[in-house]
Structure 1
Amino acid sequence: MLGTLLGSALTHLSQRRTVLRAERFTRSERLRQERIDAYCAYGGALANYRRGQMDYWFAMHDGRVLEGESIHQLRRETKRLRATAMEAMFRAELLTHSAEMGELGRQALKAVDRIPGAQSRNELSQVREASRSLIYEFIGASRRHIPGLNERE
């Protein structure tokens, strides 16, 4: 009888550890997936905002407005795209403990913000490249904060 009780207690402890390990794995995998989604969404939102800023710049400097649109509509669209990018940035920041990721994300957003301020095509080229580089840098850095992405298969 003592052996049965001891065996039962050991089985219970073993099962409890297995359940806790499975719960921990599920939580970490969910966080991993949420980080992938958040970082990708932010990178995509930045790319869309960047495209909108460039459309607005060309409309202002070259008079290139797509058919059926006005400068005011383009400006409203860039504001909407910026709000979307900020929302994505907040989500990404909530899912990381990395100050580096938050700083890179804000730098990329600020770089895109500078596009309409370019006074010439040469200056536009510089701010376009800076914003592109910072978006890529943010996405590249995000790999270090997602377990399993840096491991060789």
Structure 2
Amino acid sequence: MLGTLLGAGVTHRFQLRAVERTERFTRDEKLRQERMDAYGSYAGALVNYRRALVHRWFREREGGSPEEVTENRMAGYELRSVAQEALFRVQMLSPDESLVQRAWEVLLEIDQVHKAADREAFDALRDTTRELIKTFVTDAKNTLGLP
């Protein structure tokens, strides 16, 4: 009888451990998925914001109507807000402070695109921001342990 009770106790203990492992795995996987969604949403928001500022630069430099220029400026403000919201989500979910810092740096660099004084500076900023977005995506992917 003592053997039966001891066996039942050991079995119960192993079952509890298995349940705890399963719950931990499920929680970790859900968090990983949330991070993946946050990083992807942020990268997408950056691309859209950057595109709006590129369009704005051309409208302001190449004779867009005042209405077009104003419309492009407003679209840029709206898309910057979307990017900031996505960044806040990255901040809340990412355990990697250096990734969050790089995410802020990308946004701040994209902010400069429409301010380029001439075509050469604009092209340089456009290329730099494209590469920064790619680097953010690669760094985010690496924090998730993806191949």
State the TM-score bracket (shorter-chain normalisation). Answer: over 0.9
Aligned to 1:96: 94
Deviation at 1:64, TM superposition (A): 4.5
Return the alpha-carbon distance in structure 1 between the equivalents of residues 55 and 141 of structure 2: 30
Aligned counterparts, 1:4-153, within 5 A? 4-64=4-64, 70-147=68-145, 149-150=146-147
Unaligned residue ranges in structure 2 (runs of 5+): none
Spell out, residue by residue over 1:104-149, the C-alpha distance to the aligned partner (whole angstroms, 9 max, x if none). 10111011100111111111001101111111111111122103x1
**Matched residues, percent identical?**
40
Runs of 4+ aligned residues of structure 1 deviating over 2 Å after TM superposition are none
How many residue pairs end up in the alignment? 146
Structural RMSD (CA)? 1.2
Return the alpha-carbon distance in structure 2 between the equivalents of residues 143 and 100 of structure 1: 14
Deviation at 1:63, TM superposition (A): 2.2
Return the alpha-carbon distance in structure 1 between the equivalents of residues 81 and 63 of structure 2: 25
CA contact (8 A) 1:105 1:138 kept: yes
Deviation at 1:84, TM superposition (A): 0.3
Return the alpha-carbon distance in structure 2 between the equivalents of residues 48 and 14 of structure 1: 51
CA contact (8 A) 1:42 1:88 kept: yes
Spell out, residue by residue over 1:66-114, the C-alpha distance to the aligned partner (whole angstroms, 9 max, x if none). xxx6211111110000000001011011111212101110111011100
Between Structure 1 and Structure 2, the one with more helix by share is: 2
